[in-house]
Amino acid sequence: MCILVTGGSGFIGSALIRYLVINRGISVVNVDCLTYAGNTKNLEKVELSPLYNFEHINICDHESLLHLFDKYKPKAVMHLAAESHVDKSIENSSPFIQTNIVGTYNLLETSRFYWENLSKDAKNNFRFHHISTDEVFGDLPHPEDDPNAHNHLFTEFSPYAPNSPYSASKAASDHLVRAWFKTYGLPIILTNCSNNYGPYQFPEKLIPMIILNALSGNDLTIYGKGNQIRDWLYVDDHVTALYKALKEGIVGETYNIGGKNELSNIDVVYTICKILDEILPKKKSYKEQIVYIADRPGHDKRYAIDATKICSELDWKPAETFETGIKKTINWYLENQEWCNKI
């Protein structure tokens, strides 16, 4: 079995490839154009494996994709390549439209052409797995506004209501994937996940940014009051769910993947500071570095995933609590300062 993974040098993509190669012994082709968040150092553990192949290709390049499929003849595509930082999408939405929408279209069309020319058995076994986000659903009621807020969760039937250029581009890509299944019969699986964290995450995201700024003595900047709530999912739990969905998921179905860890941003920062105070104490608490700044435009108040479907139908559940996962994450960043310094 050969799996083509797009965006495999990024945070989640590299975790997925390490899992597929090391834990599952599966041959993988990493397709990545190595933008700022793509890092070949994320795959040092597998780069010498005969099961690992790297192709420096932009998914917006249709001709290169055609050649790639012909060369490797994958049995599955796991599509993670995406521009994913909300702040950057607000500053300049163009790369998000190109990669997340045009790139997904190119990949779908290449996959369809390839799939339609396979033998009957190979066609039945082929899968196109699109990995997306819970941000496509917009936001949910917040406990400060609604005492019953925690009864509201994103399900596979939640309406799409994206609120940022990033989430709108991902919503568009989800719709394209669904349309290629309904119109052409391309065998797709779609997953929407909550906020990921863990080793190798690029430090534009909240958790690694806070860890590294805390260690450097810099300000720990918090949008608004920091009361925005997210459902936190440890990246290694996410990739086991992705593999489950690929192998056992029903064609055409969507599966929501969440960590069952709803926390406000400020509570996440407090937790990181508390752990750093314990394992790397200094004269003052790291909490003294917290600085509040103006909130981000259109900042969603709350995300929370109902992962009942994947838990019950595919027998998956997260192995890490936030408490265990965040300690592993902090320790990884402390032990891998060379990786941090290089980026």
For strands 127-133 and 76-79, give the pairing. Answer: parallel
Closest CA to 199 of 336, 306, 301: 336
Q: Residues 302, 151: contact at Cβ < 8 Å?
A: no
Question: Exactly one of 134, 231, 306, 320 is catalytic; which is it?
Answer: 134
Using alpha carbons only, what angle is made at residue 294 by residues 161 and 89, rounded to the nearest 5 degrees? Answer: 45
Active site (annotated) includes residue 166: yes
Distance CA 18, CA 51 (A): 11
- Residue 156 structure tokens: 């596979």
Q: Structure tokens of 226?
A: 């920091």
Q: Is 72 a catalytic residue?
A: no
Which of 52, 166, 243, 255 is catalytic? The answer is 166
Q: What letter represents residue 199's amino acid?
A: P
Cβ count near 23 (within 10 Å): 12
Catalytic residue numbers read: 134-135, 166
